[in-house]
Structure 1
Amino acid sequence: MDDDLIDEAGSPLSRYTKLPGTGFFYPDSLDDERAERRARETVEGSEAVVIADGDADGLACAAMIRETYDAALDVADFEAAIAERTAEDGEDRGVGVVDGDDADGESDDPTADAHTQSPVGLISAGPYSLDTALKRVVAYADDGIDLYVCDLCPDEFEPIEEALDALSASCASIRWFDHHQWDDAVAAAVRERGVDLVVGDSEEECTADVTLRTLDHSFDERWSELAAVTRDHDLWIKEDPRSDDLADYSYWSGGEEYATVIGAYGADLPEVVREYVESRRVEKAARIDAAVERAATHEVGDWHVAVTYGRCSQNEVAEELRERGADAAVIVKPAGSASIRGSDGFRHAHEVAGRVNGGGHPQAAGCKPDIYDDMLDYAHHWTTEGQACKRVILAAFEAVAEEVEADEADEAVADDDQ
């Protein structure tokens, strides 16, 4: 493929935000090779391993765990790399820029091999890659390590069963911290393997809160403050302006960099990081505006559901759509997945997502409908702004609306009978 076809430079925002980032066009086979190599380099020889969601909440947990092992990396190299990146990024439109966590190890970046430096290895994963991450720990970890899993909730037990059985036999301990909505049977199966599973109230705590209160360590006040600011964004409380800085920075940096910087500074990011975040927000704001303008509102039962499409910051788009009267917002992404965000008037996001290959919280969930068989399906997805994906998600909203209406009718009958 001609690199110019996926190069955003010179292309109008109205066009390139309808396509996935360049990483989407990188073959999975090559990406898997690289990920496998990095996992081996990360895990081999480690005293402990953390598998964490790569967002601000999951990475805050990783930083806390490294603190308990006195295993944090030196922040100075990262600060120098951030300053250099800010200077070079004036014309770069992309997010998730190459840094120490994304580099191929062949650059002059002093943070390129950061993933190999701490005795507490960090593997970033999502709910759909948790099984793979666990298998990589099985393959490369020494016997007797401590394993931590943070801010990840498996929808089913079967995909992780074999790896978890192996790790239960080889690890000194397995501790799992989370705050998502767990299926009772999945939670029971995990605990039966000897895992110390601690799940917080998803409406009151983020996983950083859970990790902070569960680890047997005397954390100073900055860690409590970090958990509070992380919660402010993760639960969409939005009372502390620093929480947006943390969320944006975690999105635009690699896991090693983020965990190291917040481990050193907590919620009060250093000036070099704040300058970097501000430089990226110009692009972020333009993407949000484009997604909001593409939105269309649908009436589903008693709900106003705003649906849009594009590569953007879904939480901010959802917030803007709520301010315009939406009870729920759906942001369909060019890579095929979608984010579902609710409100006080809509607390069924996880139920909708569960019907289309996803899950999450009552007011925040994600999914990727199983509708993409080949590149022609993706081509249709891009040229129609996610028409098929929108259709199946709206059908899921309709189904949930019917269930809610039926439940309310049953409750009314029961009240009348009393």
Structure 2
Amino acid sequence: MKDWVIDDDALPIERKSILPGEGFFVPDSIEDEREDAEAEAALTGADVAVVADPDADGLACTALVREVYGDAALVDAGPHDLDEALERVAEYAEPDARVFVCDLCPDAYDDVGAPLETLVERSGPVRWFDHHQWDDAVAEAVREAGVDLVVGDSDEECTADVALRSLDYEFPEYLAELAAVTRDHDLWLREDPRSDDLADFSYWSDPEEYIEAVAEHGADLPPEIEEFLAEQRVEKEALIEKAVERADVEEVGPWTIGVTYGRCSQNEVAEALRQQGTDAAVVVKPSGSASIRGTDAFERAHEVAGQVNGGGHPKAAGCKPDIYDDMLDYAHHWTTRGAVAKQVIVDAFRNLEYDEPDSDDERADAEGAGE
């Protein structure tokens, strides 16, 4: 396949919105080899290692760990390749290395049990900081494996908050502020405009570049980074607009759900749909995954995602329906704008139990009885 076929820079916005990025088309075997080499290079000789989600929250945790311990090797991971990241740390880090796992939550202990137990056996202390919705049995099993697990309240804290209070260290004020601004975006509070800058910069930059910047500047990014973000946001806004334009509205029980498809910033799309009157938003991505966002009227996003190979928070969750058997399924996904994935996720909303509203007659009888 010619490189230009998947070259993002050559695609117009309409097509870019429909198709996944270049990385999607790299086979896992090649990606695994690259990640193995990078992990070996980073972890060889490392006395401290961090396995973290490479978003603003996970990378803020890494910056905090480095503030305390100096150099710390970073192995970035998502929920679906956490086991591989733990294996790499166990294999390549120094014996008795201090290990931190940040901003990651396994769906089941069996997903990570074997590599985690190997890591605990070979390494020094293993500490795990998170703020997602943990299954009690999974949390107990992780602790029984010998891990110091601290899970914050997902409605109140981001993982950087958890790391800040759990590490025995007097952090400078600007790093405490970094955790607070990270929380503002991660919990979708939207009260501090700097939090969008952090989220966008973590997405568009290399993880090491992000960590270096926030370790030095905290939440107040320097002018050259602000200029970079302004340039990137031109395309970002165009992709958001495409996703909002193609959104449909579904009425499921007592909820109004906005459902759309596209390569885009899911939080901003969900906010636009909320302003249009939806209680929840589903953003299906070209890669096959999806983001589910709630509001004060719908705080069960994690329950929906849990039915569709995912999980998360009451107002913010993610999943990837198990519906893709071969490339033809993905081709159908792109050409139908995620039709099957949308249906599977909307059906998960329908599976939720809820109280039926009283009928008009029942309400009238109740009001009459109270007179």
Measured against the shorter chain, the TM-score band is over 0.9
Which stretch has the larger CA shift, 51-60 or 5-14? 5-14
Q: How does 1:379-418 map to 2 (within 5 A)?
A: 379-400=331-352, 403-405=353-355
Task: Work out the CA distance in 1 between the residues paired with 2:288 and 2:220.
Answer: 35
Matched, 1:153 2:102: no
Say which SS state the counterpart of residue 217 (structure 1) adopts.
Answer: coil
Counterpart in the other structure of 2:40: 40
Say which SS state the counterpart of residue 288 (structure 1) adopts.
Answer: helix
Counterpart in the other structure of 2:136: 184
Matched, 1:298 2:250: yes
Counterpart in the other structure of 2:214: 262
Is 2:42–2:73's contact at 8 Å kept on the other side of the alignment?
Answer: yes
Task: Work out the CA distance in 2 between the residues paired with 1:287 and 1:137.
Answer: 37
Matched, 1:240 2:195: no
Q: CA deviation at 1:8?
A: 3.3
Q: How does 1:105-116 map to 2 (within 5 A)?
A: none
| One-letter identity of the residue aligned with 1:228 | A
Counterpart in the other structure of 2:4: 4
Task: Work out the CA distance in 2 between the residues paired with 1:315 and 1:253.
Answer: 18
Counterpart in the other structure of 2:51: 51
Task: Work out the CA distance in 2 between the residues paired with 1:173 and 1:194.
Answer: 8
Counterpart in the other structure of 2:367: none
Task: Work out the CA distance in 2 between the residues paired with 1:69 and 1:59.
Answer: 15
Task: Work out the CA distance in 1 between the residues paired with 2:123 and 2:15.
Answer: 49
Q: Deviations over 1:205-252 (max 9, x none)?
A: 100001001101111100111011000000011011000000000000
Say which SS state the counterpart of residue 352 (structure 1) adopts.
Answer: helix
| One-letter identity of the residue aligned with 1:165 | E
Which stretch has the larger CA shift, 3-12 or 311-320? 3-12
Counterpart in the other structure of 1:346: 298
Counterpart in the other structure of 1:274: 226
Matched, 1:172 2:124: yes
Q: How does 1:351-366 map to 2 (within 5 A)?
A: 351-366=303-318
Task: Work out the CA distance in 1 between the residues paired with 2:69 and 2:357.
Answer: 50
Counterpart in the other structure of 1:137: 89
Q: Deviations over 1:386-408 (max 9, x none)?
A: 001001001101001xx123899
Q: CA deviation at 1:4?
A: 2.2
Matched, 1:125 2:77: yes
Change (3 A) 1:390 1:65: same
Q: CA deviation at 1:10?
A: 4.4
Task: Work out the CA distance in 2 between the residues paired with 1:47 and 1:406.
Answer: 57
Say which SS state the counterpart of residue 329 (structure 1) adopts.
Answer: strand
Task: Work out the CA distance in 1 between the residues paired with 2:63 and 2:45.
Answer: 19
Counterpart in the other structure of 1:63: 63
CA RMSD across the alignment: 1.7
Task: Work out the CA distance in 1 between the residues paired with 2:122 and 2:33.
Answer: 25
Change (3 A) 1:161 1:232: same
Q: CA deviation at 1:12?
A: 2.4
Q: CA deviation at 1:374?
A: 0.2
Q: CA deviation at 1:194?
A: 1.7
Query: In structure 2, which of residues 120, 145, 163 is the aligned counterpart of residue 211 of structure 1?
Result: 163
Q: CA deviation at 1:143?
A: 1.1
Which structure is richer in relative contact order (CA contacts within 8 A, separation 6 or more)? 1
What TM-score does the superposition give when structure 1 sets the normalisation length? 0.84
Q: CA deviation at 1:43?
A: 1.1
Task: Work out the CA distance in 1 between the residues paired with 2:147 and 2:240.
Answer: 41
Among the aligned pairs, what percent are the same residue? 61
Counterpart in the other structure of 1:311: 263
Gaps of 5+ in 2: 359-371
Q: Deviations over 1:280-304 (max 9, x none)?
A: 0101000000100010000000100
Q: CA deviation at 1:170?
A: 1.8
Say which SS state the counterpart of residue 112 (structure 2) adopts.
Answer: helix
Counterpart in the other structure of 2:364: none
Q: CA deviation at 1:9?
A: 3.6
Q: Deviations over 1:261-298 (max 9, x none)?
A: 10111000111111111110101000000100010000
Task: Work out the CA distance in 1 between the residues paired with 2:146 and 2:10.
Answer: 55
Task: Work out the CA distance in 2 between the residues paired with 1:16 and 1:64.
Answer: 36
Counterpart in the other structure of 2:153: 201
Task: Work out the CA distance in 2 between the residues paired with 1:354 and 1:282.
Answer: 34
| One-letter identity of the residue aligned with 2:355 | E
Gaps of 5+ in 1: 72-119, 409-418
Say which SS state the counterpart of residue 405 (structure 1) adopts.
Answer: coil
Say which SS state the counterpart of residue 52 (structure 2) adopts.
Answer: strand
Task: Work out the CA distance in 2 between the residues paired with 1:9 and 1:283.
Answer: 11
Matched, 1:368 2:316: no
Matched, 1:28 2:28: yes
Task: Work out the CA distance in 2 between the residues paired with 1:197 and 1:407.
Answer: 41
Is 2:90–2:123's contact at 8 Å kept on the other side of the alignment?
Answer: no
Say which SS state the counterpart of residue 8 (structure 2) adopts.
Answer: coil
